[in-house]
Amino acid sequence: MTDKVAIIGTGQTKYEPRKANQHITEMVYEAVRKTLDPLGMTPKDIDNIVSCSQDFIDGRTISNRTIPEVEGEYLKPEAKVAADGAQAVLFGMMRILSGKYKTTLVLAHAKMSEGSQRVISNAMFDPLFQKAIGLDELNAAALGMKRYMHISGASEQQCAMAAAKNITNAAQNHIAFRGRQTTADQVMESPLLADPIREMMAVTPADGACALVLAHQDVAEKYTDKPVWITGAGCAMDAYYLGDRDLGECQSLTLAAKKAYRMTGITNPAKEIDLVELSEFYSYQELLYSEALGLTDKGNGAKHLQSRKSSINGSQPINLSGGVLGGNPICVAGLTRVIECAKQISQKAGNYQVPKAQTALAQGSTGPCGQLQCVIILSSRS
């Protein structure tokens, strides 16, 4: 990219199982204020807004219609990405690179506690065949986990290790709610949801919001002396019907990563990236996505996990924040991954800071079994 785009500020609410005392507008207002106030910015300094939410989760058509006032969208363009927050970052970056805008506010919100997630996710499947048999994200992920274990040789215990690592990591993250010292055996003892996925291996309903500000290189240093640069980004989508793709692989993530690596100039992601934030809605996906991203060889995800390279003190930590399993809502999850990477590069991650972190990878996904994938590479260097 000849023009450069930076993240200059971030903000998150605390993520909780149920925010009964906050309306969606209040959550968004909190996240936006936490983002803009430290920068000395007001809505007048924002050229356009990109939001991320889902009609089904919010229980209303055009889910962004309730938040214009609290996001500062007065006499300026606003667009909604009805997918994942990482895709919203990509779209916001593209709007700046179009040459029309200098700053973009990107935000995401969800209150999963206000609806049945199994009923909601059932709506994403084909209405004539797959929806009618009761498919939802959980059942689809169970099929994906079985297929992945079959072709890779990974065990349920090894998938439980990934969950235990991330939930334990989340204990250091004060805005996550699921964090606690956890062992793989405890994960395996949690209730079975859909064979072979157990309760602690799966995303749990959460409420919350987050936001960040993107800025063109011409104005980024006006607001901060430590901009975090987006040096690469990629997005790809796989087949809609589950039977049209191998659920034990993730070709869309591999394609998205290749685009981001090519843009950044990364040739060996296993050595050139300091840390990774993955959207593992189900713990087996950490093993699968590590392979798809080229962090380890194909079929080697379990061994990679057991090598402890991805642990909190490893050479390339994964999900130091606790990841999605630590307690993040759908839609918000991918944007949170980008924010957590930005915090690391800005040396603002507190208890789980990676010393001298310079390059980070954030990944977000949406759709059954990670159908749509997005990869964002962040760096302290432009």
pLDDT digits (tens, 9 = 90+) for 104-150: 999 999 999 999 999 999 999 989 889 999 999 999 999 999 999 99
Q: Is residue 164 part of a domain?
A: no
Range list of β-strands (E), the chain: 5-12, 48-52, 78-81, 103-111, 192-194, 197-198, 207-216, 228-237, 275-277, 359-366, 372-379
Distances (CA, A) of 367 to 253, 330, 331: 13, 11, 11
Task: Indicate the number of domains in the chain.
Answer: 1
Q: Is residue 339 part of a domain?
A: no
Question: 173-205 burial, b for 16+ CB within 10 Å, e for fewer?
Answer: bebbbbbeebebeebbebeebbebbbebbbbbb
Local structure of 317: helix, strand or coil: coil
pTM of the model: 0.97
Residues 338, 326: Cα–Cα separation, whole Å: 15
Read off the CATH number of the domain in which 74 is found: 3.40.47.10
Q: Output DSSP code: residue 296.
A: S
Residue-wise pLDDT tens digits, 46-96: 999 999 999 999 998 899 989 999 999 988 999 999 999 999 999 999 999
Q: Is residue 161 part of a domain?
A: no
Q: Is residue 212 part of a domain?
A: yes
Tokens of 231: 């040096």
pLDDT by 10s per residue, the chain, length 382: 679 999 999 999 999 999 999 999 999 999 999 999 999 999 999 999 999 999 999 998 899 989 999 999 988 999 999 999 999 999 999 999 999 999 999 999 999 999 999 999 999 998 988 999 999 999 999 999 999 999 999 999 999 999 999 999 999 999 999 999 999 999 999 999 999 999 999 999 999 999 999 999 999 999 999 999 999 999 999 999 999 999 999 999 999 999 999 999 999 999 999 999 999 999 999 999 999 999 999 999 999 999 999 999 999 999 999 999 999 999 999 999 999 999 999 999 999 999 999 999 999 999 999 999 999 999 999 8
Contact 199, 160 (CB under 8 A): no
Q: What is the gyration radius of the CA atoms in the chain, in angstroms? A: 19
Tokens of 346: 């800005």
| Domain boundaries, position 23 | 5-115+206-223
Q: Is residue 228 part of a domain?
A: no
Chain mean position to CA 289: 13
CA atoms in the 13 A half-sphere facing the CB of 47? 16
Q: Is residue 61 part of a domain?
A: yes
Residues 83, 373: Cα–Cα separation, whole Å: 10
Contact 95, 50 (CB under 8 A): yes
Lay out the sheet containing 228-237: strands in order across.
78-81, 48-52, 103-111, 207-216, 5-12, 228-237, 372-379, 359-366, 275-277
Q: Is residue 154 part of a domain?
A: no
Q: Is residue 348 part of a domain?
A: no
